[in-house]
């Protein structure tokens, strides 16, 4: 029986047919990364490498936040003096607001969204549906290169506000609520730094919209012969539904961003109310509504939560089925639950605004619709467990990361039920209970899925395996550090510790929480430095690891029908689909995997021995 371990044939004998889709140099895709390319695989790797670098930047900002909460007003060792907004290495209140603003900005807009839809979406969609490339290669290339101005603008917001100096960096949070973000005199970071921030978010929006159009068109129009919608892998379903979410939600945020820029530069009053006094300046003249920004922002940003998790759900489904050697449990319910989560995601944005003075009837509506999201989410959780149950799982780093994804998603989902209830949310709103919840959903779920996906598709990208031993060390350190950092935040939230306070210990009722915050900061440091293991493993495996063949995991998807790494055009053997992607351990096949593109054997009807033979006349 086959296993997911690489066989001798898959490791060394590809049986390639000498065609444009075969690549002899396993670094060919990597060598094209610094240059303009319309090849979807190169663009995917460009996104992947960029997001890995940004992940380290976002993690460094997070450690700055944790340092202040654990050791308030003490100088940061080594790196503190390099921050222009710190006072000799000490975190100032203004610098603290910049740290948590830019940490969330970098991790959401420059890491999680682009690594899922940008990196894996670009690399996998044409390969998994049997296409040569994306529908619009030029638009696809632009979707990456527009991200570079976004990084530049966010970088400018770090260092330029009203000139170079200690007041640089936006401080309105990643949500940028007016009036902090709309009035230049509202806070030290509300000047040019906030403008650069808005420009960066706009560029990210354009990048996402270009990708969304491309993904929908490619998946609808360019599937291989035999690839019906219900033969598509769940990764593709996750990417497709994510693209639909982006297409409908992004225009709202883009319009809101332009309105906010107009308020700041043209004198409009979309979000600025009349009679508002800021820093003893003259009262504002206007008639805008600050709550309007919250409605527009969260109408995009709550679906954005699912933009950041639906592709991960699809990828984990494919990896779990392969590593468990079992068909995915309940394929159609998994597809329908993805669509249900996305649909409900458009009618729940108001739960972010329960304490804004909402009509109780409207609050009840948002509460019930939010709780209803637990139903399709539970379908997915039980189906993942059903996929593992009774299988023959290979306890490698891919499987471990997938199980971590499911486990952390359960914890994040259960804490979300608390926040969906209006009476509970009124108490825990803007406490560390909220911080714990969204880190379990967005980091604990999404990034564990990404870590598993990097190991799973790395052989297809570069024709080599990543180190299993270093991968497990990275996993265990990250898993332990993550839970040591974020699970205690539930306790902080229940104790009433508010988020975004540079020194919460000014309040006597929070003083006893300092030791717990110090423990969390040590855990965060362990988790942060563990990511250097991932980066090192990624780099050194390019040169010193075992070679991988066409199908090293004995998987069924069409991407494993192509060479490793695929050349231009992807497939050296035409891709034709004969079955679904989850035919593992089928009694109708000799091995425990049955690739989608494997040609069925002809059925031979054997003549019965008891059938009388009729002599010719």
3 state DSSP class of 22:
strand
Is 275 within the bounds of a domain? yes
Q: What is the DSSP letter of 508?
A: G
Pairwise CA distance, residues 428 & 354, whole Å: 11
Band of residue 11 on the pLDDT scale cut at 50, 70, 90: very low
26-40, 161-175, 220-234, 560-574: range with lowest mean pLDDT = 161-175
Tokens 């249900």 correspond to what residue?
Answer: 340
Domain that residue 248 falls in: 36-560
Is 613 within the bounds of a domain? no
Whether 17 shows a pLDDT value over 50: the answer reads no
Is 30 within the bounds of a domain? no
Report yes or no: 469 and 540 within 8 Å, Cβ to Cβ: no
Pairwise CA distance, residues 330 & 322, whole Å: 15
Tell me the average pLDDT across 112-120. Answer: 94
Write the CATH number for 84.
1.20.210.10
**Is the pTM of the predicted complex or chain greater than 0.85?**
yes
Tokens 């423990």 correspond to what residue?
Answer: 519
Per-state percent for the chain, helix, strand, coil, to nearest 5: 60, 0, 35
Triad 28, 29, 34: Cα angle to 5°: 105
Is 131 within the bounds of a domain? yes
Whether 8 shows a pLDDT value over 50: the answer reads no
Whether 100 shows a pLDDT value over 50: the answer reads yes
Is 421 within the bounds of a domain? yes
Whether 83 shows a pLDDT value over 50: the answer reads yes
Tell me the average pLDDT across 439-466. Answer: 94
Pairwise CA distance, residues 304 & 314, whole Å: 16
Is 60 within the bounds of a domain? yes
How far does CA 418 lie from the centroid of its chain?
24
10-19, 107-116, 422-431: range with lowest mean pLDDT = 10-19
Band of residue 397 on the pLDDT scale cut at 50, 70, 90: very high
Pairwise CA distance, residues 340 & 322, whole Å: 25
Q: Quote the pLDDT of residue 236.
A: 97
Six-digit token string for 460:
């297809």
142-151, 159-168, 228-237, 287-296: range with lowest mean pLDDT = 159-168
Instruction: Taking the CA atoms of 441, 444, 447 and 453 in sequence, report the sign of the dihedral they define.
Output: negative
Report yes or no: 170 and 194 within 8 Å, Cβ to Cβ: yes
Per the structure, the count of domains in the chain is 1
Q: Quote the pLDDT of residue 602.
A: 78
Q: Quote the pLDDT of residue 86.
A: 53
Q: What is the pLDDT of residues 244-266, one digit of tens each?
A: 999 999 999 999 999 999 999 99
What does the mean pLDDT of the chain come to?
A: 89
Whether 15 shows a pLDDT value over 50: the answer reads no
Q: Quote the pLDDT of residue 267.
A: 87
Q: Which tops the pLDDT comparison, 610 or 74?
A: 74
Whether 50 shows a pLDDT value over 50: the answer reads yes
Q: Quote the pLDDT of residue 81.
A: 64
Is 195 within the bounds of a domain? yes
Pairwise CA distance, residues 537 & 356, whole Å: 47
Six-digit token string for 525:
């440091």
Whether 269 shows a pLDDT value over 50: the answer reads yes
Q: What is the pLDDT of residues 319-336, one digit of tens each?
A: 999 999 999 999 999 999
% of residues, the chain, pLDDT over 90: 74
Q: What is the pLDDT of residues 559-571, one digit of tens each?
A: 999 998 998 889 9
Q: What is the pLDDT of residues 594-609, one digit of tens each?
A: 999 989 887 665 544 4
Band of residue 30 on the pLDDT scale cut at 50, 70, 90: confident
Whether 208 shows a pLDDT value over 60: the answer reads yes
Is 609 within the bounds of a domain? no
Tokens 């504002």 correspond to what residue?
Answer: 284
Q: Quote the pLDDT of residue 107.
A: 96
Q: What is the pLDDT of residues 462-486, one digit of tens each?
A: 999 999 999 999 999 999 999 999 9
3 state DSSP class of 90:
strand
% of residues, the chain, pLDDT over 70: 90
Q: Quote the pLDDT of residue 5.
A: 46
């Amino acid at each position: 029986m086959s296993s997911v371990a690489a066989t001798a044939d898959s490791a060394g004998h590809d049986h390639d047919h000498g065609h444009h889709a075969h690549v002899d140099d396993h670094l060919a895709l990597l060598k094209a990364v610094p240059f303009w390319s319309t090849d979807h695989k190169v663009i995917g790797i460009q996104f992947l490498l960029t997001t890995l670098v940004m992940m380290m930047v976002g993690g460094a900002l997070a450690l700055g936040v944790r340092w202040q909460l654990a050791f308030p007003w003490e100088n940061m060792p080594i790196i503190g003096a390099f921050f222009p907004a710190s006072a000799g290495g000490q975190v100032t209140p203004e610098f603290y607001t910049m740290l948590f603003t830019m940490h969330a900005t970098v991790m959401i807009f420059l890491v999680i969204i682009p690594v899922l839809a940008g990196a894996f979406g670009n690399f996998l969609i044409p390969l998994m549906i049997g296409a040569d490339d994306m529908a619009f290669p030029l638009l696809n290339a632009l979707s990456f290169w527009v991200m570079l101005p976004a990084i530049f603008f966010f970088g400018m917001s770090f260092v330029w506000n009203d000139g170079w100096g200690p007041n640089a960096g936006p401080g309105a949070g990643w949500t940028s609520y007016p009036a902090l973000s709309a009035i230049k005199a509202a806070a030290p970071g509300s000047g040019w730094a906030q403008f650069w921030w808005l420009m960066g978010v706009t560029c990210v929006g354009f990048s996402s919209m270009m990708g969304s159009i491309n993904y929908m068109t490619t998946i609808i129009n360019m599937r291989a012969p035999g690839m019906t919608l219900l033969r598509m892998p769940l990764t593709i379903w996750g990417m497709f539904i994510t693209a639909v979410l982006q297409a409908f939600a992004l225009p709202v945020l883009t319009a809101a961003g332009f309105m906010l820029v107009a308020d700041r530069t043209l004198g409009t009053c979309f979000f600025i109310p009349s009679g508002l006094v800021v820093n003893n300046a003259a009262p504002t003249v206007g008639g805008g509504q600050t709550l309007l920004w919250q409605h527009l922002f969260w109408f995009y940003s709550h679906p954005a939560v699912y933009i950041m998790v639906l592709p991960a759900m699809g990828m984990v489904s494919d990896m779990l089925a392969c590593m468990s050697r079992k068909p995915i449990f309940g394929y159609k319910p998994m597809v329908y639950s993805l669509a249900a989560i996305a649909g409900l995601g458009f009618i729940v944005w108001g739960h972010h605004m329960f304490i804004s003075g909402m009509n109780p009837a409207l609050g009840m509506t948002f509460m019930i619709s939010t709780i209803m999201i637990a139903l399709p989410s539970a379908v997915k959780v039980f189906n993942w467990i059903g996929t593992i149950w009774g299988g023959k799982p290979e306890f490698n780093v891919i499987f471990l990361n997938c199980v971590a994804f499911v486990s952390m998603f359960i914890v994040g989902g259960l804490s979300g039920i608390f926040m969906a209830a209006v009476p509970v949310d009124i108490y825990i709103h803007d406490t560390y209970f909220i911080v714990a919840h969204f880190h379990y959903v967005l980091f604990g779920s999404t990034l564990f899925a990404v870590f598993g996906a990097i190991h799973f598709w790395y052989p297809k990208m570069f024709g080599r395996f990543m180190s299993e031993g270093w991968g497990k060390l990275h996993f265990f350190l990250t898993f332990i550090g993550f839970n040591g950092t974020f699970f205690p935040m539930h306790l902080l939230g229940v104790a009433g510790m508010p988020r975004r306070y540079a020194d919460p210990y000014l309040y006597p009722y929070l003083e006893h929480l300092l030791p717990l915050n110090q423990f969390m900061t040590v855990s965060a440091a362990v988790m942060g430095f563990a990511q250097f293991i991932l980066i090192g493993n990624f780099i050194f495996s390019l040169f010193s690891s075992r070679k991988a063949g066409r199908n090293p995991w004995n998987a069924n998807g069409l991407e494993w029908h192509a060479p490793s790494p695929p050349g231009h055009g992807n497939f050296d053997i035409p891709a034709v689909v004969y079955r679904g992607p989850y035919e593992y351990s089928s009694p109708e096949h000799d091995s425990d995997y049955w690739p989608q593109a494997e040609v069925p054997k002809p059925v031979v009807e054997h003549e019965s021995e008891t059938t009388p033979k009729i002599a010719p006349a």
